[in-house]
Structure 1
């Protein structure tokens, strides 16, 4: 099992990594600003669910496939890029609810949760990161390596939930104001579209 010192040092590093600007926390920020705190938290939960899958993949060795197979890596990253392009299209074509004298449309909870899952699972670099990062804190001298990997994955998910949850709460407050301003809505939707397209390009050009 993990020692307290190892768990504490790993958790500290995981928090710092979660705070580092990247596709996932940027995705949470934009979704929260567009649809509010609750929507952002659902996206965060979806991302954390994806991390569970990545943790299990590393534990059973599935992530090694993406590290050794260029085809598998390419197919997964292109699927993720295509999904981000789809989100960008939706942002560019989103109606201005204030202009239409309507209340902001509420997003289906499952749809928001699913967005987080798909966003995370279609990024093969997360699998490769977990494959390279988690085993560094595991040791056969402390017992089952598989259980240690699962524990480390759990700690990483907790750190992600705390940091990304804070981002969702902060940017969700901004979103409440944006929903009352037609101009702000339009600017944010266009900005979100550009951000999603940028993330799509970055993912499509990613190397192992």
Structure 2
């Protein structure tokens, strides 16, 4: 179950820069280490519904129901576009400014959780990722899926914290240049708009 192959596979998946990583980096650069930690926490807990769906078999229902898949998908698209727009607005969730005060931790975590919750591909992804590492004993399958999922979440949080800490360390250099701050805010807006476009093209 908890094999070297699982840890290596999970590590490759977690390290790959996806929406959660970009969000955590943006918060680290824009609001500092504390904000990045809350972002990492929120993104990690946003995985829970998808792991539960994969464990309970609900991911298969989502995969076969085009209507349900598209409802979640386009809610996710709208949310990513909202974050992209906020990157360009003073005081927006991802806007980088030397004058910006940090958001409340629970707000940052909630946004991070929604990023993952509103991505229907995650449930299907976990349904494909975890079963190959099960022992094959039907009596312990649920417990094994839960254990693998919790380990995956712990690895996600640890790696995201490293990303966020790195971004927060670079924050002081960035705040010294208005040009760099504007460029980064626009870049994050473009990235989230692109991620929204990619999600819109996903099929069940």
Contact 1:54–1:127 (CA<8 Å) still a contact in 2?
A: yes
Residue 178 of structure 2 corresponds to residue 182 of structure 1:
yes
Contact 1:66–1:72 (CA<8 Å) still a contact in 2?
A: yes
TM-score by length of 1: 0.89
Q: CA deviation at 1:30?
A: 2.3
Which position in structure 1 is the counterpart of 2:85?
89
Backbone CA RMSD of aligned residues = 1.8
Q: CA deviation at 1:201?
A: 0.7
Q: CA deviation at 1:185?
A: 1.6
Runs of 4+ residues deviating >3 angstroms:
95-98
Aligned length: 200
List per-residue Cα deviations over 1:70-123 (Å, max 9, x = no partner): 11111111101101111111111126755xxxx422112111000110000001
Q: What pairs up with 1:7-156 in 2 under 5 angstroms?
A: 7-94=3-90, 97-98=97-98, 103-141=99-137, 143-156=139-152
Runs of 5+ unmatched residues, structure 2: none
Contact 1:40–1:172 (CA<8 Å) still a contact in 2?
A: yes
Question: Which segment is superposed worse, 73-82 or 157-166?
Answer: 157-166
Runs of 5+ unmatched residues, structure 1: none
